[in-house]
Amino acid sequence: MDALVKQGVHFLNESASLCVFCKSQQEYVNHLFSSCKFSYALWQLIYNWLNISLPLPLVPIHHFSSFLGLMKNRKCWKLWSVI
């Protein structure tokens, strides 16, 4: 939604630009991928599944790049690349 607003798209009401998952904050990239309660819980499930126990970075590109060296084998690397 943030990208649409930056492109000049106007919504009929303020709630249209809220996060599609939690409906409590504006849908910005950092919120959508890090601070939204729904996405945070989902990342925690993924971390548990991949056996990763580190804090979730707040900036999406840091999130991706900080875990590249943690993959223990080729299978985990492929899974992380897909995720």
| 9-28 residue pLDDT tens | 777 777 777 888 898 888 88
User: What is the total residue count of the chain?
Assistant: 83
pLDDT at 69: 65
Give the pLDDT score at 38. Answer: 92
Radius of gyration of the chain (CA): 15
For the chain, 83 residues long, the average pLDDT of each consecutive 10-residue run is: 75 77 85 86 86 77 71 71 72
Q: What is the pLDDT of residue 70?
A: 66
Q: Say whether pTM exceeds 0.85.
A: no
